[in-house]
Structure 1
Amino acid sequence: MHSPTLAEPQPGSKSDTEALQVIKRNGSLVDFKPSKISVAVTKAFLAVEGDQAAGSARINSAVQEVTRQVIRAISRRLKAGGKVHIEDIQDQVELALMRAGEQKVARAYVLYREEHARQRAIDEPMEAHPHLTVQKADGSIAPLDLGLMKQQVEHAATGLEGIDGESLVDHALRNLFDGIEESEVLSALIMTARGRIEMEPDYSAVTARLLLEQLRLENARALELSTELPLAELYPQALTAFIHAGIQYELLDDALAAFDLERLGKALKPERDHQFGFLGLQTLYDRYFLHWNKARLELPQVFFMRVAMGLALREDDANARAIEFYELLSSFDYMASTPTLFNSGTRHSQLSSCYLTTVDDDLEGIYGAIRDNAMLSKWAGGLGNDWTPVRALGSHIKGTNGESQGVVPFLKVVNDTAVAVNQGGKRKGAVCAYLESWHLDIEEFLELRKNTGDERRRTHDMNTANWVPDLLIERMRDDAEWTLFSPSDVPDLHDLTGNAFRERYEHYEALAEQGEITLFKKTSAKQLWRKMLTVLFETGHPWITFKDPCNLRSPQQHQGVVHSSNLCTEITLNTSRDEIAVCNLGSVNLAAHIKNGELDVQRLEKTVGTAVRMLDNVIDINYYAVPEAKNSNLKHRPVGLGLMGFQDALYQLGLPYTSSEAVQFADQSMEQLSYFAIRASATLAGERGAYDTYEGSLWQHGILPIDSIKLLKENRREGELAVNTDTTLDWTPVRELIAKNGMRNSNVMAIAPTATISNIVGVSQSIEPAYQNLFVKSNLSGEFTVVNPSLVRDLKAEGLWDNVMVNDLKYFDGSVQQIDRIPDELKARYATAFEIDPQWLVEAAARRQKWLDQAQSLNLYMAEPNGRKLDALYQLAWERGLKTTYYLRSLGATGAEKTAPVAAPQPQVCSIDEPDCEACQ
């Protein structure tokens, strides 16, 4: 049998697998030998292609690549040295084959494994209760407590269907070896359970409950509490012990000690821990729970109470409000943004999500802005920078009588700052630079994310966005010329919008024609637009955002200008030399508000009322790293209430994303949320007073978001704005309440990406369609199998959920469209992001936008983009009055990358190591 040769480590070098040992099925340990992988993979290839293919260059290359992938995966998982079970290695081989697109070979390998498993069952039946010992923390050796393992699994499976506890224990025993550390036994159960999630979604809950048991033991030891107490008894003690320990370790605000901890402890609801899926709880464990000496000090309900206490610090009845806030968070009806979850109640309560800045056109302003970026990023804020005021390449510098190098060299510094200041080590620093489309540096700005060209003029780690005035779209449609200027020659264009911008822009074009402005460039508007779309497809940047809708519909246009959006394109707030805009985010879980096939309006009303109060509290409690942010936030008090779980809500309603009914639901649900949010802010104004700059706002003039569409229409040419303006609610009471009390917040709503907090809650992200129905999600907490529980439920109801269906979903990359036995109705309902015509995404977003005073993070998915499709899609977004768009996600030319059990097709254009931006939420 031919066996390809892998490059072995050189003498004296240290291999990543040098200390790696393999646990065999009988529990014994052997050294890891990569050559055995090569042999097995070669056999699988020859089983498909025949013995005559032995020694072919293609097979040799494929085998070597698969083996390298397996070694990398195992080494990455275990870092330096460790132990891995033989079955895990074989899983990685199957994964690598699928990644390589070798589906037939992967199937041959699966059959090979199954045949050998059957033969082993005959020849070497495993003992039901193997005799193993464990090493305790004190170094002593004791028999493995098999009864405890069974009890832990039985408890974790309570109330769940389709869980085979006996088999779970038996398979976990395979990962144990004689003398294993006692603490690793529970880890083996967790690893075994998580491997079954693809077959039965309830195993996600089982895995989470086993992880919770591990956390309970860790927490009790860290806080010196009894490890024998059940959670119901442990929780009240754990809250009190945590608050005192957190203050002692200088992690928590001393003010938390003033709460009635006994009362709050009694309000905790341990049963709500059972809401978690594995991904959600593991994410909290890895990245959110406060810790000391690597031991977690928080349990899930203690964590939610700590966040609630931090948000209630300045309430008159802080204990009652803390319980109210805890109830909302722990129910998963609403979730605060990641910075709030990270820092609420701590000594550095930086709770805000987004910061927007304008960069002045001088060195002091430029480097001051870069310093501000670093300070804001340090405490987990996402950044949006407006670079339009900075003079263009070749502009005259009066002080030195020299020429400017333009915007791009400074953006390189911004890029490197974002890498260096990584949000306290919890996640990557993240920033987006915005530039208006008339800036003379715009063409070079478009190429910042390219992989070719001068690296000194490339920014691979930051995001970029076009700030597009309506006039460019008009010129593009007319196939007319477009003029690029340096802002040093046309400084007021930066602050003008709509018809005022059009008039002044044409005035400057006339001056250029007369020779009074010498630094400018004429180009084709259509060619510039095409270049924008081309680089957007090639690099995912710059995103396309629309200046005029953001400004003409802004409630705060009497106080300044929206010069950019934020990192995730949902915030539209004014910025200036003296003001850094700040927004505080949180999201309603829309899926939790569907009851008996319809929206539970009363529950939504209660959720939104409390959520707006929590968000408003953030403004006063927040730690501000720079004074300009504090100045802006206290004056205008903007918040951004959004939503998540939209796709899950559609599943519960039985609606395909691609349906007029789904678009109508987007409209009506957003109207309800908008109604309650605006009313809640007006109610708060009656209690606490209106925000300082309320007078002169659109609110004060009686113009609500639905009314501001008219202002945009007045500044567009006839027929270039097509927006549905239907309403279903009586808005008169809200208008009257605003007239009486004013508004507590200048801005109230914004729909953020919710990448991480939706993982915590266990619902679909934001307004996103389903990414895939079965895939592996990779993030900073590891790799997680994600299976669509709604699909599984419906397939079970049809009698179609079995091993064959799981394998079919793997083979078809999580898509149901090519599986013949699935009914057409379910195929429509469970179409995934790249199978949906993106026009449906725009239409649903347009219905939401009419109710929003800010914007929404709108990803657009296109499996096979081309220039004509992109042009039509982004023009449609503009016609429908959208303020911003976010990532354009497209599949690579070679199709979906395979990942076991199946990979989500990786977008060609994502800049963060997760498939979705999480910097805001």
Structure 2
Amino acid sequence: MRPATVEHAPAPFPVIKRTGQTVPFDPAKISEAIRRAFLDVEGTDAGSSSRVRAVVAELTEAVELALLRHAGPERAVHIEEIQDQVELALMRGGHHRIARSYVLYREEHARARAAAPTPTAELHVRLADGSSAPIDLERIARVVREACEGLDGADADRVLADTRGLLYDGISAAELDQAPVLAARALVETDPDHSTVSARLLLDVLRREAFGALGLDEPSDHADATARYGDYLAAYVRRGVDLGQLDPALAEFDLDRLLAALRPERDLEFTFLGLQTLYDRYFLHSRGVRYEMPQAFFLRVAMGLAIREVDREARAAEFYALLSDFDVMCSTPTLFNAGTTRPQLSSCFLTTIPDDLPGIFGSISDNALLSKYAGGLGNDWTPVRGIGAHIRGTNGESQGVVPFMKIANDTAVAVNQGGKRKGAVCAYLETWHIDVEEFLDLRKNTGDDRRRTHDMNTANWVPDEFMRRVRADGEWTLFSPDEVGDLHDLHGAAFAEAYRAHEAAAARGERRVFRTVRAVELWRRMLTMLFETGHPWITFKDPCNVRSPQQHAGVVHSSNLCTEITLNTTARTGAEEVAVCNLASVNLARHVGPDGIDVEKLGRTVRTAVRMLDNVVDINFYTIPSARRSNLRHRPVGLGVMGYQDALFTQRIPLASEAAVEFADASMEHVSWHAIAASSDLAVERGRYASFDGSLWSRGVLPIDSVELLAATRDEGELELDRTQRLDWDALRERVRRHGMRNSNVMAIAPTATIANITGVTASIEPLYRNLYVKANMSGDFTVVNDHLVRDLAERGLWDTVMVGDLKYFDGALGEIDRVPDDLRELYATAFEIDSSWLIEAAARRQKWIDQAQSLNLYVSRPDGRALDALYQLAWRRGLKTTYYLRSQAATRVEKSTLAVTDGKLNAVAPAAAAPAATPPPSAAPAVAPPPAPAPACSIDGPDCEACQ
């Protein structure tokens, strides 16, 4: 079998051969290559098969269309790009055996070419002014070899050979810069070290761009750039201030003192995904020309956070050390805006929408202003009257809450955060609202599009009383909030009592708009829509309120965009509060060794991180006064964790195990203890937050103690949670009672998708998505390979081309790859190979230590109503406050990768999990009858949400 070779024939675009020669595109060559592929795998009889002829024609057309989409009719396409698309077309068509053989053939011949590269005639680069110059192959070789230094798995000769294959006479300067990067990133699948190589090659491009933008001579290599960092830093700050991008106060810092703290060698530690993400979306630029280097970026953020400190240089150096070493990472808004002239640093905003037109449209306007500078939004829509409710001003009937949600949806799309990422909002509705059934349908792709919100996230705000009715197979009554307004602010026993009173009033004819349904049937619809569309998420009202430290100061009416923030909100009354939270995440992978947690380092990191977050409250640029008023009064922050799965790998702990649950418990206990202690120490230094008196903190009730408050509201069997404690909590309770707290809330675990990309670890508390896949985000497509697995397989002599092909064939899962040892299959089981009840058990152990909540995704490999019911009943019984996405393998768009120059993306329906799920932890969830098996219509594009962090 031979891959496509394109040499002659009329074409829509030119093709670059490996010699650098440009020739026309000829689709007939693709057809012939695909036909031969079928012959090699299926035998000579396949050549005369009408089925094969039809498939060849279809695949050839798909390849040509894909090339036109990627290249357009003008740009030259390299032969490797064509072969990539052939491979992807075979995968899309389900021809996995042929695609696998094709991959192996390409790899074999690529190695042969690397061993004996084709001689290349002298080539020239086309410069920006239209002139040309010989390509400096010696410099390319020097830069590539420097990029491979210290990386055992990097193959400099192969990168150089593949780079030469991408060059052609008349190549543009920009394409020449990208050629080594593309060559290295294509080898990521052969060894993950090539991701670091790609990043270092991109760094070379960035160094020359940034130094040139500041009028400095371009550095010849990393050592040259390091030696001249002082000149660069001073010029960088001047340029940023002159452009009006950097806060002029940064020029007042002692830059020489900060330069001593700078660590330019940390520029070499990025993965390609991490540095490309920073390059595309974070680094400061002028008209698209970047002038901010990675260490200047981290220093700018640190200086911005230390700008009001007494010894600001010392604090900036302290903050910089944590950020640049990836020990902790601030959320995306903080990274975007710290140290700039408009420092909107907060991550999340929560609002309650009032039930009047000025209030509704005022809230939508607030959404736009909050979203403009990178905030994620959570809207509580429960107060808005439902369909059929009386409108006194017009003597008409309401059309319900959905039309207004549609407007909020379109506003989020329109305000896209300066092109840096999509605006995002989540709508919350309590389960008793009369419009809840229409609310469940908001993300469907069928029905009246005027009553659909395709871009807005949705979440159910579920009271405990509803869960009890489900378990008892009882009835549930839906109301319009204009007639039962007290329910919105009630929870626990008070809610249950008032709700039953409203039901009795409805039975007497004293409520105009209501409807009674079977609770189990509504629950089934909730789970069915969650599986079909990924929405609405399931979040629990009572645990969020009963365990809230701030229950004396208001009510938690919703969570945020990613379900980890649980803060009070009030509607627009002139003194309304928009809740604000400021986020950062500790990288657990940097705080564990083979023997467990580095407790001392973790404590230091957490304490510094809490100080950084508290600074955000005062430095922050507030776009609406209600957000400022709320944030300064309560000062909530949300310190979370990420790299949980990497930390387990380091300790050789499978995620689906009791040991992993114990690690989740112990690690979060340490984070909780030190975060609370840090906030209490800040209260001594800076003063208590304004609404401290009357809070749970003021009564010595810490998050671990509030578990008992929830238990008191539940009947027997409704809260099953391990209460183990390891640290000296009595002493900390006394400190908090005596000294107070600087922050009303201190912990929340956000998704961290983007900042985890930057630091090169798994997101948040997520399980491993795939061992090999292509991740697509706003910066492009990136091959992601589990480097832990690669190292283990290499040590056992199992990492080879065939293993790469098998990982592709089985969607990055190890279950059916026979030669993988059982211990590695268990350790590296992917999200769809484990039972999600393990994720709930680990989350429950964390939740007991957290004063807010956590973004918890759940995974199911196939539709199963009873399994979904059991999962969410378990989440409720374990006392979780919220859950996030339900990701279904049958409905998730799977991304496959390709071996050659450009990463490819394949959207297809994945097969059911090949390996049986790991044994679930024991639970006793009574299952309701399963919902009907839904059609797989989920539109979730991949494993990561980039909305909060």
Is TM more than 0.5 here? yes
Amino acid at match of 1:132: L
Retained in 1: the 8 A contact 2:299–2:316? Answer: yes
Q: Deviations over 1:182-206 (max 9, x none)?
A: 4433311110000001011111111
Amino acid at match of 2:514: F
Q: Deviations over 1:340-387 (max 9, x none)?
A: 000111111111111100000000111111111111111111110000
1:12 — aligned with what?
Answer: none
Query: What is the CA distance between 1:221 and its match in structure 2?
Result: 0.7
Q: Cα 1:558–1:894, aligned 2, differ >3 Å: closer, same or farther?
A: closer
Amino acid at match of 1:268: L
Any residues of structure 2 matched to 1:90-489 within 5 Å, and which?
Answer: 90-110=83-103, 113=106, 126-128=117-119, 130-228=121-219, 230-489=224-483
- Within 1, Cα distance between the matches of 2:247 and 2:892? 53
Retained in 1: the 8 A contact 2:196–2:272? Answer: yes
Query: What is the CA distance between 1:110 and its match in structure 2?
Result: 3.8
Q: Cα 1:610–1:209, aligned 2, differ >3 Å: closer, same or farther?
A: same
Q: Secondary structure at the match of 1:366?
A: helix
Retained in 2: the 8 A contact 1:238–1:302? Answer: no
Query: What is the CA distance between 1:910 and its match in structure 2?
Result: 6.4
Any residues of structure 2 matched to 1:454-603 within 5 Å, and which?
Answer: 454-577=448-571, 578-603=576-601
2:932 — aligned with what?
Answer: none
Query: What is the CA distance between 1:609 and its match in structure 2?
Result: 0.7
Q: Secondary structure at the match of 1:36?
A: helix
Any residues of structure 2 matched to 1:755-774 within 5 Å, and which?
Answer: 755-774=753-772
**Superposition RMSD in Å:** 2.2
Unaligned runs of 5+ in 1: 1-14
- Within 2, Cα distance between the matches of 1:895 and 1:189? 30
Query: What is the CA distance between 1:735 and its match in structure 2?
Result: 1.4
Query: What is the CA distance between 1:80 and its match in structure 2?
Result: 6.1
1:83 — aligned with what?
Answer: 76
Retained in 2: the 8 A contact 1:637–1:747? Answer: yes
- Within 1, Cα distance between the matches of 2:831 and 2:643? 15
Q: Deviations over 1:717-761 (max 9, x none)?
A: 122100111101111232122122100000000000000000000
Retained in 2: the 8 A contact 1:190–1:211? Answer: yes
- Within 1, Cα distance between the matches of 2:110 and 2:300? 49
Q: Cα 1:744–1:910, aligned 2, differ >3 Å: closer, same or farther?
A: farther
Q: Deviations over 1:445-468 (max 9, x none)?
A: 101111111111111111100000
Candidates 901, 918, 921, aligned match of 2:946? 918
Amino acid at match of 1:788: N
Q: Cα 1:823–1:171, aligned 2, differ >3 Å: closer, same or farther?
A: same
Retained in 2: the 8 A contact 1:775–1:900? Answer: no
Retained in 2: the 8 A contact 1:813–1:905? Answer: no
Amino acid at match of 2:124: T
Q: Secondary structure at the match of 2:275?
A: helix
1:70 — aligned with what?
Answer: 63
1:7 — aligned with what?
Answer: none
Query: What is the CA distance between 1:437 and its match in structure 2?
Result: 0.2
Query: What is the CA distance between 1:911 and its match in structure 2?
Result: 5.6
- Within 2, Cα distance between the matches of 1:600 and 1:286? 34
Query: What is the CA distance between 1:34 and its match in structure 2?
Result: 3.4
Q: Which moved more, 1:808-817 or 1:101-110?
A: 101-110
Q: Secondary structure at the match of 1:564?
A: coil
Amino acid at match of 1:387: W
Q: Deviations over 1:288-326 (max 9, x none)?
A: 001112111100000000111111111111111111111
Retained in 2: the 8 A contact 1:887–1:910? Answer: no
- Displaced runs of 4+ in structure 1, greater than 6 A? 114-122, 902-910
Q: Cα 1:563–1:58, aligned 2, differ >3 Å: closer, same or farther?
A: farther
* TM-score, L = length of structure 2: 0.92
Amino acid at match of 2:156: G
Amino acid at match of 1:867: G
Q: Cα 1:221–1:893, aligned 2, differ >3 Å: closer, same or farther?
A: closer
Candidates 807, 810, 813, aligned match of 1:809? 807
Q: Cα 1:190–1:111, aligned 2, differ >3 Å: closer, same or farther?
A: closer
Q: Secondary structure at the match of 2:711?
A: helix
- Within 1, Cα distance between the matches of 2:231 and 2:132? 31
Q: Deviations over 1:121-145 (max 9, x none)?
A: 99xx644564323334454433322
- Within 1, Cα distance between the matches of 2:559 and 2:108? 57
Retained in 2: the 8 A contact 1:776–1:904? Answer: no
- Within 1, Cα distance between the matches of 2:723 and 2:617? 32
Q: Which moved more, 1:552-561 or 1:92-101?
A: 92-101
1:6 — aligned with what?
Answer: none
Query: What is the CA distance between 1:897 and its match in structure 2?
Result: 5.9
Q: Does 1:672 align with 2:666?
A: no
Query: What is the CA distance between 1:105 and its match in structure 2?
Result: 2.2
1:754 — aligned with what?
Answer: 752
Any residues of structure 2 matched to 1:509-908 within 5 Å, and which?
Answer: 509-577=503-571, 578-892=576-890, 898-900=896-898
Q: Which moved more, 1:544-553 or 1:100-109?
A: 100-109
Retained in 2: the 8 A contact 1:356–1:582? Answer: yes
Retained in 1: the 8 A contact 2:104–2:801? Answer: no
Q: Secondary structure at the match of 1:412?
A: helix
Q: Which moved more, 1:229-238 or 1:171-180?
A: 229-238
Retained in 1: the 8 A contact 2:644–2:765? Answer: yes
Query: What is the CA distance between 1:820 and its match in structure 2?
Result: 1.7
Query: What is the CA distance between 1:178 and its match in structure 2?
Result: 1.6
Candidates 31, 42, 45, aligned match of 2:38? 45
Q: Which moved more, 1:549-558 or 1:791-800?
A: 791-800
Name the count of aligned residue pairs.
Answer: 905
Q: Cα 1:75–1:761, aligned 2, differ >3 Å: closer, same or farther?
A: farther
- Within 2, Cα distance between the matches of 1:788 and 1:532? 35
Q: Secondary structure at the match of 2:524?
A: helix
Amino acid at match of 1:640: G
Unaligned runs of 5+ in 2: 1-9, 900-904, 911-935
